[in-house]
Structure 1
Amino acid sequence: MAQSTPRVWLITGSSSGFGRAMTEEVLRNGEIAVATLRKPSALDDLVAKYPRTQLLVLPLDVTNEAQVKYVFAQVKNAFGHIDVVYNNAGQVIYQELEGTPLDRARALMDVNFWGAVTVSFEAVRFFREENPKGYGGMLVQVSSLAATAGVPLLEFYNNTKAALDSFTEVLAQEVLPAWNIRVSN
């Protein structure tokens, strides 16, 4: 059942996979999607189908802190608040450990962990300081079962998700109940 006022969802990594699916689901349910991705043209089909009052597409590289802050400011300007941040942007490497160049493994950590942390911090700050007092919000982290056990050819990916799970667990414990912020993994 839809709410009387549509919720505003900020979704990272909207070009494919879970991010694209969540964007489509939010739109189908009559809510507002702020879809972020590195290449906005990947959502041209949705832009043609939905009005800007329901779908706002913004470029975002989650490893760029200034760009993360800019996107949140754009959402504030467009809609006044954010109800849900669906923190999904990520990459994967399928390769044996010894064959993976360390700069590629570091880049994966930058996106899957540090990028998610950057978005998380800005989401919590926004829910606490930009949304109406006591309004709060919900931060949903997209992780993976791969975080729970080592999987051959995916070990660097596994580690990024395990780190994100631990970070999310602690963040959920540190937000004060008065802020009305829910954190889910």
Structure 2
Amino acid sequence: MVMVQSTPRVWLITGSSTGFGRAMVEEVLLNGEIAVATLRKPSVLDDLVARYPRTQLLVLPLDVTNEVQVKSAFVQAKDTFGRVDVVYNNAGQLLIQELEGVPMDRARALMDVNFWGAVTVSFEAVRFFREVNPKGAGGMLVQVSSMAATTAHPMVGFYNCT
């Protein structure tokens, strides 16, 4: 027996352009729920925008390394749908290169997205669930990670750290 939500949940999904993020947006929409899809280049989701009404899909620009943009995405989700029920914290980058050959600025950029970006979104999600969502609504934070965090792989040294 499949349980159906009586009210569609509002999902805020980071890293929606490809991979798990894109797949989650599509799954949420197919299940009749509401997606706030965030990504650096919103035009990547033009095909979904053409298929789904604004009452089910909101696409927002978001660089998770920018705290102002993170807060703004939550505000826009609330202004549009009244709440956020689930945050699917997925934005990330992969850099394939020998560790000693990675320029420090590139390593820092990867850590800013994969670690500090995840922290920034997580902190705002918890704050939002406690202080902004309707009283008692709470929320669910799903943090996407990688097996590389527990099992090191060659050529992705900085990714292994996140």
TM-score (norm 2): 0.97
SS in 1 for 2:26: helix
Instruction: Name 1:36's counterpart in structure 2.
Output: 38
Instruction: Name 1:175's counterpart in structure 2.
Output: none
Deviation at 1:65, TM superposition (A): 0.3
2:128 is the alignment partner of 1:130: no
Unaligned runs of 5+ in 2: none
1:126-173, Cα deviation, whole Å (9 max, x unpaired): 00000112211000000000000221101100101xxxxxxxxxxxxx
Instruction: Name 2:95's counterpart in structure 1.
Output: 93
Letter in 1 for 2:25: T
Unaligned runs of 5+ in 1: 161-185
Instruction: Name 1:153's counterpart in structure 2.
Output: 155
- Which of these residues, 67, 72, 76, is aligned with residue 70 of structure 1? 72
SS in 2 for 1:95: coil
Instruction: Name 2:10's counterpart in structure 1.
Output: 8
What is the alpha-carbon distance in structure 2 between the residues aligned to residue 27 and residue 76 of structure 1?
Answer: 18
Conserved? CA contact 1:8–1:81, under 8 Å: yes
Conserved? CA contact 1:87–1:119, under 8 Å: yes
What is the alpha-carbon distance in structure 1 between the residues aligned to residue 75 and residue 87 of structure 2?
Answer: 14
SS in 2 for 1:91: coil
Matches within 5 A, 1:10-29: 10-29=12-31
Instruction: Name 1:116's counterpart in structure 2.
Output: 118
SS in 1 for 2:11: strand
**Identity among equivalent pairs (%):** 81
Deviation at 1:17, TM superposition (A): 0.3
Conserved? CA contact 1:75–1:82, under 8 Å: yes
Higher relative contact order (CA 8 A, sep 6+): 2
SS in 1 for 2:105: helix
Conserved? CA contact 1:97–1:155, under 8 Å: yes
Deviation at 1:2, TM superposition (A): 2.5
Instruction: Name 1:80's counterpart in structure 2.
Output: 82
Question: How many residues of Structure 1 are paired with residues of Structure 2 in the alignment?
Answer: 160
Deviation at 1:79, TM superposition (A): 0.6
RMSD: 0.6
Instruction: Name 1:54's counterpart in structure 2.
Output: 56
Conserved? CA contact 1:10–1:82, under 8 Å: yes
What is the alpha-carbon distance in structure 2 between the residues aligned to residue 124 and residue 94 of structure 1?
Answer: 32
TM-score (norm 1): 0.85
